[in-house]
Amino acid sequence: MRYIIIGIVFIFSGFLILSVFGHDYQIANIEASEFGECYEDYDDKEPVTVNCSSKIFDQTLFFAIVIVLIVSGIISLVKGIKGKWDNEVKSEDMVGPSGDKNLEKD
């Protein structure tokens, strides 16, 4: 059950990060292919010309991080649905009311 929850959290956080911060990284390919120059926009001053390859690298790195989050969430979901990690617990490792049978009581 915990791997299902972890998977859902990873997938949700990946899509949340993509939707909140993704618009900052979408324009680099368009600027590079259409105009040949890339600009860094600021709120308080004029746009500054920057290297397009560094902007595309930042975009690729951002999307790689998002893809890693989503893929790790999918892997966690698959492992949680299979149930082998959560359900195969040795009897000597069990704790709780029914798990203390192996302990010697005084």
% of the chain with per-residue pLDDT over 90? 34
pLDDT number for residue 7: 93
CB 39 within 8 A of CB 48: yes
* Structural domain includes residue 41: yes
* Distance (Å) of CA 29 to CA 14, 19, 62: 22, 18, 14
In a domain, 75, yes or no: yes
Q: How many CB atoms lie within 10 A of CB 7?
A: 21
* Total count of domains within the chain: 1
Q: Give the range of the structural domain holding residue 74, as residue numbers without chain letter.
A: 2-83
Asked if the structure places residue 88 within a domain, the reply is no
- Asked, for residue 90, whether it belongs to a domain, the answer is no
Q: Could you tell me if residue 76 is inside a domain? A: yes
Helix segments in the chain, DSSP class H: 2-21, 27-30, 52-82, 84-87
- C-alpha dist (Å) from residue 65 to 19, 52, 60: 13, 20, 9
Residue 105 forms part of a structural domain: no
Q: What is the pTM of this model?
A: 0.69
DSSP state of 4: H
pLDDT tens, position by position, 4-58: 899 999 999 999 999 998 887 888 888 888 888 888 888 899 988 888 888 889 8
Q: What is the pLDDT of residues 44-61, one digit of tens each?
A: 999 888 888 888 898 999
Residue 102 belongs to some domain of the structure: no
